[in-house]
Structure 1
């Protein structure tokens, strides 16, 4: 079996590789990829594996974006240290999740399940593609209505409908409202991304932008995109070449 590991923590990726090969030394780890951009570029230029083990939180966003950009018809095991991502929607044929830290039993049980699915007489590769598509279409239906922000010494809830964008600066996550108010957020940018739903797009490591906060998009060098928002921000908002296609698809939905 050919396996790709998507994990930004090198030690965690090595541990996962060791446990997989302990289960079956004939398995091949085709690649260990650390970011969305790296994974998309690799998969655009290399054959699809038989199985993915993928962390959910990556430095440039959530790994779901990879499988929205790349046509995938193989099983995926999502890995996370956070229970809030451990949705039972994953517990279906071909889409599973495991919680960190891993151990040999967790990995062996997971691989047993994958092998049973792949060896079913009724197994068809297209089943995974339709299943993943349905999952990705519905994964963001559970969203939060309020986000906690800091205002002086107070912590107050803000309606998510008021949020235009969020960005990371010097380790602090800030939220801009449509009234151009700026607040420090209690959550990390990764947590906000998982909470705010499909109306927001993780453009890069720094910016999470709401669809109706975008004024226009311009072509940028090296097939990147430059995003102008209705809210003035001090830095350029740039979409990478690897994300450009999925971003434009999201923008027109």
Structure 2
């Protein structure tokens, strides 16, 4: 597999290269600007997969696609805010949020392999994506959940939620009164429906609200442990790669 990384910060590019190569893949080329990338694509065979930083030192990376008809799959790497990320999710665009989590990287690579064709990305409307990032659409976020309980429906407001978690391929809502409810959705879908100012996905298993944080403790390997008021079934751990972003979120 032929892979290139386009990233203007060279230390970040080298770190991503090491993480990709830990998955048994080979990064063939690293590029660091729009101008350098355009010149490279004009003179080389296009790769199977591109890890593409959005904001480069000399402009948005979308300018590359405006100049070159690139025939490659793309996984965006971005430090854009959560509003922009929802635009990516809602349009089924692969991205990795900086700092890049190794588990998220592996999932993105496996998704690329499963598609078994780099041509699947050719229909992306890069002008549309560019507009979404520059002028993200205001969204109305979820305020309540309707849960079927036997022959009845129960309404749970967003203010009652202590956390969302996944377990045994199911997604659950846990309330402040220490009750669990099975939801007909996924954590990935919930991320697109929850207000990012109030909810944060600390790991592949948990999404927590700001108001649900009772205590934050230092944990092994530079990670953090979040204590919730009533949920005790499993430890809520903020991965090392997400610690800085999590600290920014909590202010």
Question: Which range, TM-score by smaller chain?
Answer: 0.5 to 0.7
Note if 1:107 corresponds to 2:107. Answer: no
Structure 1 residues 202 and 109, CA, compared in 2 at 3 Å: closer, same or farther?
Answer: closer
* Alignment-derived partner of residue 223 in structure 1: 222
| CA displacement at 1:227 relative to structure 2 | 0.7
Q: Aligned runs of 1:186-225 on 2, under 5 Å?
A: 186-198=184-196, 199-225=198-224
Structure 1 residues 105 and 182, CA, compared in 2 at 3 Å: closer, same or farther?
Answer: closer
Structure 1 residues 105 and 212, CA, compared in 2 at 3 Å: closer, same or farther?
Answer: closer
| CA displacement at 1:29 relative to structure 2 | 5.8
Structure 1 residues 180 and 27, CA, compared in 2 at 3 Å: closer, same or farther?
Answer: same
Which whole-Å CA distance do the structure 1 matches of 2:167 and 2:181 have between them?
Answer: 12
| CA displacement at 1:233 relative to structure 2 | 2.2
* Cα distance per residue 1:48-82 (max 9 Å; x no partner): x9469347xxxxxxx8xx5248xxxxxx9x766xx
> Aligned pair count?
172
Normalised by the length of structure 1, the TM-score is: 0.53
* Cα distance per residue 1:8-36 (max 9 Å; x no partner): xxxxxxxxxxxxxxx99644467569xxx
Conservation of the 8 A alpha-carbon contact between 2:5 and 2:50:
yes
Gapped runs of 5+ residues in structure 1? 7-22, 34-38, 40-48, 56-62, 70-75, 88-100, 115-127
Which whole-Å CA distance do the structure 2 matches of 1:176 and 1:242 have between them?
Answer: 25
Which whole-Å CA distance do the structure 2 matches of 1:215 and 1:133 have between them?
Answer: 36
Conservation of the 8 A alpha-carbon contact between 1:3 and 1:27:
no
Conservation of the 8 A alpha-carbon contact between 2:164 and 2:174:
yes
Conservation of the 8 A alpha-carbon contact between 2:51 and 2:75:
no
Note if 1:67 corresponds to 2:79. Answer: yes
Which whole-Å CA distance do the structure 1 matches of 2:120 and 2:190 have between them?
Answer: 32
| CA displacement at 1:188 relative to structure 2 | 1.3
Note if 1:165 corresponds to 2:144. Answer: no
* Alignment-derived partner of residue 74 in structure 2: 53
* Cα distance per residue 1:91-121 (max 9 Å; x no partner): xxxxxxxxxx99959727746x59xxxxxxx
RMSD: 4.5
* Alignment-derived partner of residue 250 in structure 2: 251
Match of 2:175 among 171, 174, 177: 177
Conservation of the 8 A alpha-carbon contact between 1:215 and 1:228:
yes
Which whole-Å CA distance do the structure 2 matches of 1:133 and 1:244 have between them?
Answer: 26
SS of residue in 1 equivalent to 2:231 = coil
Normalised by the length of structure 2, the TM-score is: 0.53
Gapped runs of 5+ residues in structure 2? 7-15, 17-41, 54-59, 63-72, 93-114
4+ long deviations beyond 6 Å:
none
Q: Aligned runs of 1:5-154 on 2, under 5 Å?
A: 26-28=45-47, 50=61, 53-54=74-75, 66-68=78-80, 85-86=90-91, 107=122, 110=125, 132=133, 135=136, 141-154=139-152
Which whole-Å CA distance do the structure 2 matches of 1:226 and 1:109 have between them?
Answer: 39
